[in-house]
Amino acid sequence: MEPYPRTTVASPSITAEGCDLGLDSSIDSVEGQGISRNWELRGVESFDPDALSAEVRCWYEQLWSVLEFEPRYRHYTALARSDDLYLYSRSLNTHVTALLTALRITGDLALLDEVDRLAQHMRNALDDSWRGPAVFDADGIDGYLNWVWGQSHSSVHPGRDLHVTDEMRTHALVAQFAWAFRVNEDLASPNGVDYRERADFWTWYLVEHFEAKWRDRMDKPWPEFPFLTRPHTHETFEFVRYNHYLYLLTGKAQYRTESERLSGLSFENFEVAQSEVGKALVVPRSLLAKGGKEDYLLPSTYVRYVYSSAVDMYFEGVEPWDDVQVIEMLAHSLTEFIMDNGSHDFARDMGGGIARAGVSASEADDWPRFGPDRFNVSPYVLLAAWDETRKIVNVSKEIYAETDVNRRDIFIPVGMLVDRAIN
C-alpha cells in the first residue's frame, strides 16, 4: 500500500530558478558513469545516487520526495487498485511511463520496484467477469481475465471491458512494463521483486487473455493484423508501443511489422506547420486515412498522451520517432503553439487554437484552455530536452515552484532529469 522504504540524505530546495540539494558532485553529467547510457529500460544493481551530477541528483531526490509523500502515493495506489480502464489508460499510463523514463535516465531499480508495486495492485484487480452495473450480464464471463471501465458517462461501457480505446491504451502500458521486467530479469531487485516472474505473468496475460480475447471477439486469429483498431490519433499511436513491446517480449516478427505499419500510418497523419523557431508537427484528432471524422487539431488534453508516447518511442528507437528532428518538431508545437501565455495558462489544441498546415482549429466551446494545474500532472514537460528555446524548462520550473507541495506531481522532476541528462 506504500512505497518501499529508502534512505534519503537531503531534501531539495525548489525555486523558480531550479532545484538545489546543497550537495556537491564532481561529475558534470550522468554520461560515462556506467548507468545504462543507451537510455534502455535496463537498470543497474550497483546504482549509487551519489554518482549523479548535482542538478540531476536534485531532481532525482525531488522525484522520490513526491513518490514518498503520503497523499500522493495514496493517490497513485488508488489509481492502481481502481480496476478502471479509464484511469489506467490515462493517469496511470502517463505516471508509470514517466517512472520508466526516470529508470532509463538513472538506472535506479527502486523505480522499477515502485512500478511493480502499482502493477501488482492492477494484477490483483484482474478477474473473469464484468462488475458493478454489469455484474449479472450473461456475457460477463468469457474465460479471459479483464479490467473494466469504471466511469458513469456512458450507457454501454460501465462495468464492462468493451471500451476499445482504453483497452488499447491500457495494454500498451502493460506491454511496456512487462518488457521492463523482462530486460531486468537477471538482476537483483533492491526490494526482492522477482522480475522474471513478473515478466512471465504479464506476457502470458497479454497474449493469452487481452489479445486472445479481442482476436476471438473480432474473429482475427493469429497471425492476422490488426486485431484491434480505432480511427483516432492517440490510441493508434499507443498501439505502436503495444506491438513494439510485444515483438520484444515474444520475438514474433508479425508484431514488429504491425508496429512499423502503425508508426508509418501515424506519422503520415501529421502535418508540418511553420513557427518562429522552425518546423512544428501538428495532427488532427482522428486518423483521417482510416475514416476518422474529427478533422480538427488534436486538443491539448490528448496531445499530452502523444508527447508521452513519442518520447518513449524515441528512446526505444522506433522509426521515425527516433529521429531527433522529429522530436524537436513536436517540441516546437508545444513551445510555439500551446505555450502561448507563459505559465498562466495554455492553448486548447496543438495549433494554439489557430488553423495550422491546413488543419482547422478545435472549437473553443468544446475544448477550453487549461491551467498550470493540468500542466503539473501531465507529461508535456518530457519534451524539455529537445527545446532549444528553454521555454519548457523555464515555465516548468516556475509552475513547480508555485505549486503547493501537497499537489506536486512527478512529471516536472522527470522532465528535468531527462533534460539535464541529455543536455
154-183 average pLDDT score: 97
Residue 77 scores a pLDDT above 90: yes
Residue 375 is predicted with a pLDDT of 98
Give the pLDDT band (50/70/90) at residue 211. very high
Examine residue 150 and state whether it is found in any structural domain, yes or no: yes
| Range in 1-5, 30-34, 107-111 with the lowest mean pLDDT | 30-34
Q: Which three three-digit cell numbers place residue 269? A: 497523419
Residue 179 lies in a domain: yes
Asked whether residue 22 carries a pLDDT value surpassing 90, the answer given is: no
Does residue 405 fall inside a structural domain?
A: no
pLDDT band at 21, cuts 50/70/90?
confident
Residue 208 lies in a domain: yes
Residue 101 domain boundaries: 82-228
Q: Do residues 305 and 94 lie in contact, with contact meaning Cβ atoms separated by under 8 Å?
A: yes
Report the pLDDT value the prediction gives residue 37, as an integer from 0 to 100: 55
Could you tell me if 241 and 253 are in contact, meaning their C-beta atoms sit under 8 angstroms apart?
no
- Looking at residues 273-277, what average pLDDT do you find? 97
Least confident piece of the model among 31-45, 48-62, 97-111, 267-281: 31-45
Within a domain: 302:
no
Would you place residue 223 in the very low, low, confident or very high pLDDT band (cuts 50, 70, 90)? very high
Residue 56 has pLDDT above 80, yes or no: yes
The owner of cell 527502486 is 110
Q: Which has the closest alpha carbon to 204: 178, 177, 238, 232?
A: 178
How far apart CA 215 and CA 226 sit, in angstroms, is 9
The pLDDT of residue 7 is 78
Residue 163 has pLDDT above 90, yes or no: yes
Q: Tell me the C-alpha to C-alpha distance, in Å, between residue 335 and each of 100, 195, 325, 346, 350.
A: 24, 39, 15, 10, 10
Segment 279-308, tens digit of pLDDT? 999 999 999 988 899 999 999 999 999 999
Report the chain's terminal Cα–Cα distance, integer Å: 36
Average the pLDDT over each of 79-83, 168-172, 395-399, 417-421 and give the range with the smallest value. 417-421
Judge whether 160 lies within some domain: yes
pLDDT at position 414 is 98
Q: Flag whether pLDDT at 34 surpasses 80.
A: no
Least confident of 30-44, 97-111, 159-173: 30-44
Q: Which amino acid is at 364?
A: A
Residue 100 lies in a domain: yes
Tell me the residue ranges of DSSP E strands in 343-411. Answer: none
Q: What is the pLDDT of residues 335-350, one digit of tens each?
A: 999 999 999 999 999 9
The number of distinct structural domains making up the chain is 1
Residues 389-399: tens digit of each pLDDT: 999 999 999 99
pTM: 0.96
pLDDT band at 50 (very low <50, low <70, confident <90, very high): confident
> What's the mean per-residue pLDDT of the chain?
94
What is the percent of the chain with per-residue pLDDT over 70, rounded to a whole number?
Answer: 96
- Span 124-134, average pLDDT: 97
Peptide bond into 320 cis (omega under 30): yes
CA distance 114 to 10: 21
Q: Quick one: how far is CA 164 from the chain centroid?
A: 18
- Of the two residues 53 and 312, the one the predictor is more confident about is 312
Q: Is residue 91 part of a domain?
A: yes
pLDDT at residue 26, rounded to an integer: 41
- Tell whether the model's pLDDT for residue 256 goes beyond 60: yes
Amino acid 244: pLDDT: 98
Confidence check: pLDDT of 411 > 60 = yes
Q: Which three cell numbers stand for residue 422?
A: 541529455
pLDDT score for 344: 98
